[in-house]
Structure 1
Amino acid sequence: MAALRFQARSPALSGSVRLLGSGDVRALAEELDVVPTKKRGQNFVIDANTVRRIVRAAGVGEDDVVLEVGPGLGSLTLALLEQVRHVVAIEVDGRLAAALPATIASYAPERAGDVDVVHADAMQVRELPGPAPTALVANLPYNISVPVLLHLFEHVPTIERGLVMVQAEVADRLTAGPGSKTYGVPSLKAAWYADVRPAGRVGRTVFWPAPNVDSGLVAWTRHDPPAGADRRRTFAVIDAAFAQRRKTLRAALATLAGGAERAEAALVAAGVSPQERGEQLDLAAFVAIAGALGDDVATSR
């Protein structure tokens, strides 16, 4: 992981920041010979009102250190610098990571010392430079948005709240409750770490290039994990329960538990009907099932 880092200085919020418009984004991309790619989920925001809306909905302020993933050409980074104390931006594209400091220096010269740019794959990040982040605000790449979010929940425990922009379908999955058709693995694993809620929709026209789908905003506030629960075991039970959604839990958990009878016994002990399906249960029920299965889960995954 390579960090391209400025010398920090005290912030002078908002007054010196100019945001990127459509022409600025395209000019920067042309200068860098950057062509957005689907492989990296690159869709650059070209509307200043949208990035300001994201920052406003995130509820961050001048005391916050914000972690941003996939800053791209810097549209959201600049909007964050209007409001927050410091930004740590993780960018996997080497050209974009190298160019972002110069863009900040040009469009927000008085805030240039308040950004750390980290050239890295967010899925590999374990440590970050600068002050510890208190919030996560990001336009996450569509193709890896859920894995990145869960990874950061686990490995950056100082982030207390945040807001991410993801594909609308993913936003629905992250914020769904039991009984919903969109409820599943992302809903439950996100709920382990945080209270997750929808925060609005974003249309396609504010991006370049325009994606084929709409986007959704997902806000969250961290909470403690369920008391006495084992995350690894619980996540293994969740994965098994939704691997084949149409199966009853007795059948879905049979392999994990070492047989259908053992699965049934664990379900009954957890107070769950063996004929239930995963989409009907909340996180507390999965925690109870994992507890009833005990070491069987830990040794099978």
Structure 2
Amino acid sequence: MNNLDLKEQTKNLCKQLDIVPTKSKGQNFLISQGVLDKIITTADLSKEDVVLEIGPGLGILTEELTKRVGRVVAVELDRKLLGYLKDKFGQVKNLELVEGDVIKLLNYQIVKLLEGKKYKVVANLPYQITSHVLRLLLETDSGPSEMVLMVQKEVGERICATKGEMSVLAVMVQYYSRPEMVAVVGREDFWPVPEVDSAIIKLKTQNSKLKSKEDLFFKFIKVGFNGKRKMLKNNLRNIYSEQKVLAAFWELKIDSRARAEDLGVEEWKRLYQKLVG
């Protein structure tokens, strides 16, 4: 199906269902077959896979997932869309539809549904919940092995940033996973057309956790990033003596003029261990 057909089909479905896409729910529906194919290819799916989909919308991605994997759990917030999906996929045995806010359900109901099995996340995430959902998925002990996500382009670039452009978000995501920017997706590939371009990113989770409490590590990171463009040593002096900070910098070969965005995840971990223990 070409993009024009998908766009008209999407508009007609929304009209039939009396759905007016809302920004608050992140309802910008994908209307590009090529982009859909790219998501599926990137996810590298097999019949052994279990997939969590967040925000299935009108089911364009859901349909492809159910053809390729053993089981799909799809979480939809919009009741009208959920009703449509139940009608559309009523005979599909490997799909479980869940109504609700994924942020509220993720820590207990979704984990219970996945039964502790290894799973992937494949989703076109509503932009306003991207950071929150990522944090929940990455921090939990029952997180996915991989994620293929459609996110706002700017967010994708921040997540995949390298030294010199790091942020709290980049450190958090790269602490738990290896992110990759797969492709940029133009705003014209959605209806209604959003104000920004998107990106497909892939995250492969990794087990490189610190022995001490992670919440303290991320509080340490936030202190480091407090005060945009300020030198890191000046931010850390709010907690530690200048002598201790400079000694740690010297031992770890960190430039005394470095800013928070100049350090990669491994440098942050070593600095944390040196200053906090």
TM-score higher than 0.5 here? yes
CA offset at residue 84 of structure 1? 1.2
Q: Is the 8 A contact 1:116 1:130 kept in 2?
A: no
**CA distance in 2: counterparts of 1:123 and 1:86, whole angstroms:** 21
How large is the Cα RMSD of the aligned pairs? Answer: 2.3
* Structure 2 unaligned spans of 5+: none
**Pair 1:191 & 2:174 matched:** yes
Name the counterpart of 1:253: 236
Q: Is the 8 A contact 2:76 2:98 kept in 1?
A: yes
Please give the per-residue CA displacement for 1:5-43, whole angstroms capped at 9, x wherever unaligned: xxxxxxxxxxxxxxx933332232222221111112211
Query: Aligned letter for 1:171?
Result: G
Name the counterpart of 1:241: 224
**CA distance in 2: counterparts of 1:24 and 1:141, whole angstroms:** 21
Identity of aligned residues (%): 30
Q: Is the 8 A contact 1:267 1:292 kept in 2?
A: no
Please give the per-residue CA displacement for 1:193-225, whole angstroms capped at 9, x wherever unaligned: 111111111122221101121111111211102
**Pair 1:101 & 2:74 matched:** no
- Which residue, 87, 96, 117 being the options, matches 1:116? 96
Q: Which moved more, 1:218-227 or 1:68-77?
A: 218-227
Please give the per-residue CA displacement for 1:70-97, whole angstroms capped at 9, x wherever unaligned: 1111111112112111111122223223
**CA distance in 2: counterparts of 1:86 and 1:192, whole angstroms:** 29
**CA distance in 2: counterparts of 1:123 and 1:130, whole angstroms:** 16
**CA distance in 2: counterparts of 1:51 and 1:222, whole angstroms:** 23
In structure 1, the residue corresponding to 2:136 is in which secondary structure?
A: helix
CA offset at residue 65 of structure 1? 0.6
**Pair 1:214 & 2:197 matched:** yes
Mapping of residues 88-237 of structure 1, within 5 Å: 88-105=73-90, 109=91, 112-124=92-104, 125-127=106-108, 128=110, 129-131=113-115, 132=117, 134-155=119-140, 157-180=142-165, 183-237=166-220
Relative distance call for 1:277 and 1:174 in structure 2 (3 A) is same
Query: Aligned letter for 1:69?
Result: I
Q: Is the 8 A contact 2:82 2:99 kept in 1?
A: yes
Q: With structure 1 as the length reference, what TM-score do the two structures score?
A: 0.81
Query: Aligned letter for 1:236?
Result: K
Relative distance call for 1:293 and 1:56 in structure 2 (3 A) is same
- Which residue, 283, 288, 293 being the options, matches 2:265? 283
**Pair 1:23 & 2:4 matched:** no
**CA distance in 1: counterparts of 2:139 and 2:252, whole angstroms:** 26
Q: Which moved more, 1:170-179 or 1:285-294?
A: 285-294
**CA distance in 2: counterparts of 1:39 and 1:133, whole angstroms:** 31
Q: Is the 8 A contact 1:229 1:287 kept in 2?
A: no
Q: Which moved more, 1:190-199 or 1:266-275?
A: 266-275
Query: Aligned letter for 2:13?
Result: L
Name the counterpart of 1:272: 254
Q: With structure 2 as the length reference, what TM-score do the two structures score?
A: 0.87
Relative distance call for 1:98 and 1:265 in structure 2 (3 A) is farther
Q: Is the 8 A contact 2:131 2:169 kept in 1?
A: yes
* Structure 1 unaligned spans of 5+: 1-19, 296-301
Relative distance call for 1:23 and 1:236 in structure 2 (3 A) is same
CA offset at residue 266 of structure 1? 5.3
- Which residue, 70, 75, 78 being the options, matches 2:60? 75
Please give the per-residue CA displacement for 1:103-122, whole angstroms capped at 9, x wherever unaligned: 223xxx4xx12112222222
**CA distance in 1: counterparts of 2:192 and 2:74, whole angstroms:** 22
Relative distance call for 1:247 and 1:202 in structure 2 (3 A) is same
| Matched length | 268
In structure 2, the residue corresponding to 1:243 is in which secondary structure?
A: coil
In structure 2, the residue corresponding to 1:21 is in which secondary structure?
A: helix
Q: Is the 8 A contact 1:66 1:133 kept in 2?
A: no
Please give the per-residue CA displacement for 1:94-143, whole angstroms capped at 9, x wherever unaligned: 322333221223xxx4xx12112222222222131145351111111112
CA offset at residue 171 of structure 1? 0.9
